[in-house]
Amino acid sequence: MLASSVINLNLDLTPIIQDFISKYGYILLCIYLLGFLTGALIIFYLFKNPEKLKKSLSYLFIIPGKFFVVAQKVFITLDFEGRINDFIKGLGSMIYGYEPVGIKIKWTTSKGAEQSFFDDDDLVIVIKDSGIKNKNFVNASMVAIAKTTLPKTKRYLSALQAESVDLFIGKKLFEKEKPQVMDYFFAEFFDKKITDYPTIEELVNKYHIIDRAGLFFPIFIRELNFLGEKVFYHAKNEEIIQEVNAFIDFLKLYAEREIGTTKTSLIHQGRYCRCAIVIIGKFFNITESGISLYREYIKKLLAQKIENFYIISPKAKINLKFVNSVLNSFSQEELQLYRSLPYKAFVNIGKREYRLMDTHLIVLRSNKIIRYFDSTYQKNYIKRPEQIRPEANEEK
C-alpha cells in the first residue's frame, strides 16, 4: 500500500526543452541558459562575499530612503558596512597575518554612548547621526581603521606614528571607496593633524613615496605586523619608536632609488626589524649559475640573522620561473613562503623620471625568529612570574 501511494515524479526535462527549442530555437535557449548560469554565479559570489552583498543591497533603499527615514538609515548602514568591510578585507589579502574583522554600524542618539566595542569577531561602531552622510562615513571609517589596523603593534609605536598610519590608510580607503568624502576627511581630520603635528605630515609624505613604489602595504605594514608578533608583553620604549622611523627612511630611500644603482642599501638590520630586499631583475643573472649566486647571498643574510626577505622581480614568466628555482633550492626548515603577489610600482628610471611597471613580490621568512619579552612588564601586568622568560629568546 505504501509503495503504491508514492507519487512518481517525472523529472525528465527533455520534452520541455524540446518544446522550447521548437518554439524559440537553439539561440534563445543558449541565451536563457547563459543568463540563468550568470545569475546563479552572481548570487553565489555575493553570498561568499557578504560585504559585496551589502553594497549591492544598499542600492535597493536609495529611492525609498528619499521618502522614509527608516529606509534611509538602512541604506546608509548597508552602504557603510559594505564599503568598510570590503576595504578591510582587501587589507587582509595584502598583509599576511592580518586578521580582518566584521564591521557593524550601530546608531545612537546619545553622544555619551558613542563607544565602539568588539562583539565576538565583529567590531561594532557606535556613532551618532550627524545628519551629514559623508561625515558619518568618515567618522565610522576612521574608528574602524584605528581599531583593526596593527592592533598588536600600535602599543609599541608613538602616538604620532600610529596616527600617521591611520590617516594614510584612511586616505587610501576614501580614494577607493568614496572619493566624494575626501573634502570632509581633509578638513576635519587630515589638515588639522598635519597643521598641529608637523611630524605627522613628514611621515605621511614618506608613506606617499613608499606607496608610489607599491610597498606601503606589502612591505611596510607587513613588517610592522611582524614586529607586533615578535615583541611580547614589552613596554613601549624609544628604541622601538626610533627603529620604526629608521625602517621608514630605509623604505623611502629604496622607493626613490634609480633602477640599476648599487649605492642604495637593501638590508635593514635593526634589533627588532631585520629584513632585506632582494632584487632579481638583471637578465644575465637569470641563469643556472645565477640560482647558486642568489642562494649563497640569501644564506649569507640568514647567517647575519636577517629574518624577512622581500624578493622583488619583474612580472615576467622567465623571471618568476627563475625565482621559483631559487626558492626550491631552500628547504622548509630554512625559509617559509609567506606571500606571492603581483603589484604595480613607479620606478625611477633616471633623472627623477618615474615609470609604472608590473612587478612581483615574494615574501619569505626565516624559521629562526628572535622574539622579545620584557620580564618587568610581565611582573607588573601579567602577575605570573613562573612564566617570565629571558629578554630575548631565539625560537628554533
Is residue 342 within 8 Å of residue 358, measured between CB atoms? yes
For 312-334, what is the mean pLDDT?
Answer: 82
Distance CA 80, CA 55 (A): 8
Other C-beta atoms closer than 10 Å to the C-beta of 374 total 18
Q: How far is CA 354 from CA 88, 198, 350, in A?
A: 29, 27, 8
Output the pTM of the full model: 0.74
Q: What is the pLDDT of residues 52-92, one digit of tens each?
A: 555 555 554 455 545 545 556 666 677 777 777 777 666 66
Distance CA 294, CA 266 (A): 14
Is residue 127 within 8 Å of residue 136, measured between CB atoms? yes
In this model, does residue 370 exceed pLDDT 90? no
Sheet holding 102-108, edge to edge: 102-108, 122-128, 117-119
Q: What is the pLDDT of residue 15?
A: 64
Q: What is the pLDDT of residue 128?
A: 77
Q: What is the pLDDT of residues 164-206, one digit of tens each?
A: 999 999 898 888 777 888 888 888 888 989 899 999 999 999 9
The closest alpha carbon to 229, from 148, 153, 145, belongs to: 153
